[in-house]
Amino acid sequence: MAEINKAPRGTNDVLPEDSYKWQFVEQKLTETAGLYGFKEIRVPVFEHTEVFTKNVGDTTDVVQKEMYTFTDKGDRSITLRPEFTAGVIRSVIENSLTAAALPVKVCYHGGCYRYEKPQAGRLREFHQFGAECVGAASPAADAEIIAMANQLLKDVGIRKISLEINSIGCPECRKVYHSALKKYFEGNKDELCATCRDRLERNPMRILDCKSPICADIAKSAPNVTDYLCEDCDNHFKAVQAHLTAMDINFKVNPRIVRGLDYYTRTVFEFISGDIGAQATVCGGGRYDGLLEQMGGQPQPALGFAMGIERLLMVLESQNAELPEPKKCDLYIAPMGEVAAIKASVICSSLRDEGFEALTDIVGRGLKAQMRYANKIGAAYTVVLGDSELESGLVRLKCMETGGETETELDMLSDTLYNAKILDFVDRINIENENRPF
């Protein structure tokens, strides 16, 4: 019997003490993407299964082993999204987004679902931020999407990360490469895993992405795709490298990068961290020029990427990156008595209207317990509100860090609190400047 008080295997709760990190990362990624003209799109958590089986690739691990698929009450096959791109492109086609100005630039973040063995950086429910650009065939678009991913990673605080790029060609030159791969792997067919023996006939390039140590070892000596590029694909890839070099973005050409999904063409890339163990790829993407037509839309070049939020946070933690501190309570009002409690609620409501995080007792604690609570939640300031304060209209605003107090009128509490926060901020800056070495 399932444990109703335990999260399903491969899922994690994001608790309040950590959720601010997620909010910071997601907001920063969305803001930076906006500098490149990307606007947010939100698509359903589930799609018709064919959106993935016919477009992600039936020889991929995602389709063969990992999808959460079920039949709904209308006898339709539905799948929780294992990745965003296919669903986003379905939306682009359905809503005729390409009828507007091109290129279409959209970004997104949210949960994805794959049934696989849970491990660090790889969960059954995981979260991605990504971007898709539709309607741009130029190598400059490839370089821009890579540059944006590079800036996104830097803007959230990641410093040590490497970029690897490759070209897997177009359908025409890939036919020649597939023939070379098939000829090579035929000589090792008996040693390949059962899945790769099937891939050998249907899509030999997938063998290069196999996680089996034996298959991976055999693949090390396989032909390189870059040796089989047609002239157009070769020129495109060289132009991408020239753009990246001009933008001073360091990269390494890795002819073994093929990515895990079948819709990719030409440029593919990965950003890799050496700080999180085996699941080192933090961001991956590339070009998929045939996907719109394959899904029933008008032919349009397209490209994009996705990055795992969990892995980003793992890298940030491993690199001891400084994240903004979560916002804490500005003021806690400790009432004594029923009349004071009502007044405290009114004051808190007014302060919230002005943008302060103001809290008061809703449990029925005594004064000492309230002050302990204010200390636990990190309240910056406190006010005790009793009969004498109500009668005089005066309260003492206490700074919890220094213990200093300021008397103020109740009607002026918001102004006094605002000024106290400003003075406290200025004092902190002055202290930092005094202690800063020159």
Looking at the structure, tell me whether residues 158 and 109 fall in a common domain: yes
Give the per-residue pLDDT at 53. Answer: 85
- 220 located within any domain: no
Residue type, 6: K
Place of tokens 């800063």: 436
- Check residue 196 and give left, alpha or beta (phi > 0: left; psi -120 to 50: alpha): alpha
Looking at the structure, tell me whether residues 22 and 162 fall in a common domain: yes
Looking at the structure, tell me whether residues 314 and 335 fall in a common domain: no
- Check residue 169 and give left, alpha or beta (phi > 0: left; psi -120 to 50: alpha): left
Give the per-residue pLDDT at 209. Answer: 77
Looking at the structure, tell me whether residues 55 and 157 fall in a common domain: yes
Place of tokens 């400084």: 322
Looking at the structure, tell me whether residues 293 and 370 fall in a common domain: no
Domain of 119: which CATH number? Answer: 3.30.930.10
DSSP string, 351-365: HHHTT--EEE-SS--
Q: For the chain (length 438 residues), average pLDDT per consecutive 10?
A: 81 91 95 97 95 74 80 94 95 96 96 85 90 97 98 92 94 89 86 85 82 86 91 97 97 85 87 75 93 93 96 90 87 96 95 94 95 95 95 94 90 88 50 38
SS3 203: coil
Looking at the structure, tell me whether residues 70 and 96 fall in a common domain: yes
Looking at the structure, tell me whether residues 245 and 303 fall in a common domain: yes
Of 375, 411, 406, give the one whose Cα is nearest residue 393: 411
- Which of 289, 318, 347 corresponds to the end of one domain? 318
Domain of 416: which CATH number? Answer: 3.40.50.800
- Which of 318, 349, 369 corresponds to the end of one domain? 318
Give me the number of domains the chain comprises.
2
Give the per-residue pLDDT at 199. Answer: 83
Looking at the structure, tell me whether residues 259 and 156 fall in a common domain: yes
Domain range for 165 is: 16-170+230-318
Exposure string for 250-279, b = 16+ CB within 10 A, e = fewer: ebeebbebbbbbbbbbbbbbbbbbeebeee
- 355 located within any domain: yes
Element (H, E) at 128: strand 125-134
Looking at the structure, tell me whether residues 83 and 109 fall in a common domain: yes
Sheet strands side by side (includes 77-80):
46-48, 77-80, 69-71
Of 109, 90, 136, give the one whose Cα is nearest residue 22: 109
- 217 located within any domain: no
